[in-house]
Amino acid sequence: MRPLRILETSLYAENLDDMQKFYCDIIGLELFSRVEGRHVFLRCGQGMLLIFNPERTQQANGSVPEHGTHGAGHVAFAIPAHELEKWRGHLQRNNIEIEKEITWPTGGHSLYFRDPAGHSIELATPQTWNFDN
């Protein structure tokens, strides 16, 4: 048995407003639900990006098991190669500093920048991992 795919990816931030604005308005994810002060859940393709306030989720609440991290995490989003130039311009127009660009031996290409919580966010073409698309 193997899982079908990764269904939920988590990041942690104390300021959920800033994160919701960033991931909806700049990255283009779809808001799924929000519990004030605790989490913002966002849809991305057939998966979910879950943003939690670790001050809330590190405490046992009788529902889901406790979790929560501190420090800069890392998430990458897949973008089609033909949109790379548009994304670069979009980030620049929104004053998001591109911290690094890498062209990989596979032919994939990655743009790195920071989200409002300081996580290292990447837009990468699927070729980075030898995926066709």
End-to-end CA distance of the chain: 24
Whether the CB-CB separation of 105 and 86 falls below 8 Å is answered with no
| Nearest-angstrom CA–CA distance, 81 and 108 | 8
Whether the CB-CB separation of 90 and 77 falls below 8 Å is answered with no
Pick from 88, 115, 109, 126: nearest CA to 25? 115
Query: Does residue number 48 form part of the binding site for a second copy (CB under 8 A)?
Result: yes
Query: Does residue number 27 form part of the binding site for a second copy (CB under 8 A)?
Result: yes
Query: Does residue number 68 form part of the binding site for a second copy (CB under 8 A)?
Result: yes
- Please identify, using beta-carbon distances, which residue of 70 and 95 lies nearer to a second copy: 70
Query: Does residue number 83 form part of the binding site for a second copy (CB under 8 A)?
Result: yes
Type of residue numbered 104: W
Query: Does residue number 123 form part of the binding site for a second copy (CB under 8 A)?
Result: yes
Whether the CB-CB separation of 79 and 91 falls below 8 Å is answered with no
Query: Does residue number 60 form part of the binding site for a second copy (CB under 8 A)?
Result: no
Query: Does residue number 50 form part of the binding site for a second copy (CB under 8 A)?
Result: yes
Residues that bind a second copy (CB under 8 A): 1-10, 12, 27-30, 32, 43-50, 52, 54, 58, 63-80, 83, 86-87, 90, 99-100, 102, 112, 114, 119-120, 122-124, 126, 128-129, 131, 133
